[in-house]
């Protein structure tokens, strides 16, 4: 059975030593929540589309941005990483953080995986929505499948400088320049500043349209291998700053490699769940997968611009169970690498506990003074979205997690 190919969306992919996608995850591929009419993620996607359609047009009065929401989440490793200049040894490629079908193919970890192919196909301005997959921690705002919307806009010399007085004397590029915190080596500072201004203005307007004019936002400098300079936009929500998108001026090397060497561009990628959680006060990311009418019917508005006042489903009480184990001895692994990775454990909890698991936290770590063995204790919080759980049923799930942790992760239970 282990040698059966992985089957996704009607295609078969041979397994190899990189394969780590699980049946629970594969079952989500094709759900396309962002394309289900009146699903909250669809609603946000539609509102963003409507905003771009009505505010940005091409020379003939046509919508400037084309919209793509049906690209397969199965991509090559080259699309997800190499096409974005992510170095071969970059930590974001880790098996522990991604879902690989095999060494060559994976479930996309971000919608940026499609930037290069869409620019290569000749598009100058596009939006792209889709499901993305990442192995990650478990809590109310993280889920291994979520949705992003990517935006890209390119500018020719004429498009960028036409509004500037005597702009025809300016140029996008300069020779012999240096990379600084503000710009890439080949870009002129005046061009970058205009692109950055347009990017920030576009996103500030989008956020004001979605949240209302008095939403508090801030820009934070950050780093992505495929943009420079790069920024994150944070929105204030219930007293905390919440990151909703990453963006920046596209790396020229990327544009050059796909035939857009005479243009500059910006790109952004925003998290649809994050936006929806803030906008509709949705308390838990698992709710997006709910088929409960009490949740879904609240988003069936007459008009997509109409505000939704979300009534949180009453939260049923949580139940927690702890699990402690000794980690496998590092001395035992051939290459001295860590043989236990936290995401393997989270994955195992998810694959057994499914959506009953709300949160997993490390609550204690301990090294035995004599033997040097390391032990960890995790707390697993169980909560059902639609009913109260009993310790009997949770106990069964929890014991299965204990057994499988021993069988699959090489840990030794202290149960
Ligand atoms: N792909 C990045 C992420 O998922 C976001 C991003 C998109 C950043 C486009 C810059 C440009 O975090």
Question: What does the DSSP assignment read for 353-415?
Answer: HGGGEEEEEEEEEEE-TTT--EEEEEEEEE--SSS---HHHHHHHHHHHHHHHHHHH--EE--
Q: Is 59 helix (H, G, I), strand (E, B) or coil?
A: coil
Interhelix angle 189-211/40-55, rounded to 10 degrees, is 130
Q: What is the pTM of this model?
A: 0.85
Q: Return phi, psi of residue 188, to 5°.
A: -85, 145
Classify strands 66-68 and 125-133 as parallel, antiparallel or unpaired.
parallel
Largest CA distance in the chain: 77
pLDDT in the model for residue 22:
93
Q: Is 200 helix (H, G, I), strand (E, B) or coil?
A: helix
DSSP state of 139: B
**CB of 269 sitting under 6 A from ligand 1:** yes
DSSP state of 101: S
Task: List the Cα angle 57/231/201 in 5-degree steps.
Answer: 30
**CB of 114 sitting under 6 A from ligand 1:** no
Best residue among 83, 109, 110 to mutate for probing ligand 1's pocket (most ligand atoms within 8 Å of CB) is 110
Tens-place pLDDT, residues 341-386:
899 999 999 999 988 999 999 999 999 999 999 999 999 999 998 8
Atom of ligand 1 nearest to the CA of 268: 9
Buried-state track 188-214, b at ≥16 Cβ within 10 A, e below 16: bebbbebbbeebbebbeebbebbbeee
**CB of 134 sitting under 6 A from ligand 1:** no
Q: Return phi, psi of residue 332, to 5°.
A: -75, -25
How far is Cα 282 from Cα 279, in angstroms, rounded to an integer?
Answer: 8
Written as six digits, the tokens of 26 are 């594969």
How far is Cα 36 from Cα 167, in angstroms, rounded to an integer?
Answer: 46
How far is Cα 66 from Cα 72, in angstroms, rounded to an integer?
Answer: 17
Mean per-residue pLDDT, 285-290? 91
Tens-place pLDDT, residues 23-68:
999 999 999 999 999 999 999 999 999 999 999 998 899 999 999 9
Tens-place pLDDT, residues 7-21:
999 999 999 999 999
Other CB atoms within 10 A of residue 366 CB: 13
Do the interacting molecules here have an ipTM over 0.95?
Answer: yes
Atom of ligand 1 nearest to the CA of 148: 4
**CB of 112 sitting under 6 A from ligand 1:** yes
How far is Cα 345 from Cα 342, in angstroms, rounded to an integer?
Answer: 5
């Amino acid at each position: 059975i282990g040698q059966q190919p992985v089957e996704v969306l009607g295609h078969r992919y041979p397994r190899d030593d990189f394969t780590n996608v699980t049946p629970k995850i594969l079952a989500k591929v094709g759900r396309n929540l962002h394309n289900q009419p009146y699903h909250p993620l669809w609603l946000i996607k539609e509102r963003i589309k409507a905003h771009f359609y009505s505010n940005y047009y091409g020379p003939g009065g046509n919508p400037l941005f084309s919209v793509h929401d049906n690209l397969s989440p199965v991509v090559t490793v080259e699309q997800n990483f190499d096409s974005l200049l992510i170095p071969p040894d970059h930590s974001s490629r880790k098996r522990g953080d991604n879902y690989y079908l095999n060494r060559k193919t994976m479930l996309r970890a971000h919608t940026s995986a499609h930037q290069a192919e869409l620019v290569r196909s000749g598009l100058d301005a596009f939006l792209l929505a889709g499901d993305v997959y990442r192995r990650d921690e478990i809590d109310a705002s993280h889920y291994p499948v979520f949705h992003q919307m990517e935006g890209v806009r390119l500018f020719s010399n004429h498009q960028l400088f036409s509004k500037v007085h005597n702009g025809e004397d300016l140029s996008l590029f300069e020779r012999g320049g240096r990379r600084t915190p503000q710009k890439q080596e080949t870009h002129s500072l005046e061009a970058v500043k205009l692109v950055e201004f347009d990017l920030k203005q576009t996103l500030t307007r989008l956020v004001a349209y979605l949240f209302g004019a008095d939403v508090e936002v801030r820009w934070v400098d950050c780093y992505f291998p495929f943009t420079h300079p790069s920024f994150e936009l944070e929105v204030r929500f219930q007293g905390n700053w919440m990151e909703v998108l990453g963006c920046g001026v596209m790396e020229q090397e990327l544009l050059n490699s796909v035939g857009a060497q005479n243009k500059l561009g910006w790109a952004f990628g925003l998290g649809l769940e994050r936006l929806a959680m803030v906008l509709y006060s949705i308390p838990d990311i698992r709710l997006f997968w709910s088929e409960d009418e009490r949740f879904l019917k609240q988003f069936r508005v007459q008009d997509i611009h109409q505000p939704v006042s979300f009534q949180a489903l009453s939260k049923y009480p949580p139940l927690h169970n702890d699990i402690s184990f000794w980690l496998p001895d590092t001395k035992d692994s051939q290459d001295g690498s860590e043989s236990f990775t936290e995401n393997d454990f989270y994955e195992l909890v998810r694959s057994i506990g499914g959506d009953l698991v709300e949160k997993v936290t490390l609550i204690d770590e301990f090294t035995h003074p004599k033997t040097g063995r390391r032990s960890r204790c995790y707390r697993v919080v169980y909560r059902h979205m639609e009913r109260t759980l009993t310790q009997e049923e949770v106990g069964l799930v929890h014991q299965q997690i204990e057994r499988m942790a021993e069988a699959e992760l090489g840990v030794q239970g202290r149960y």
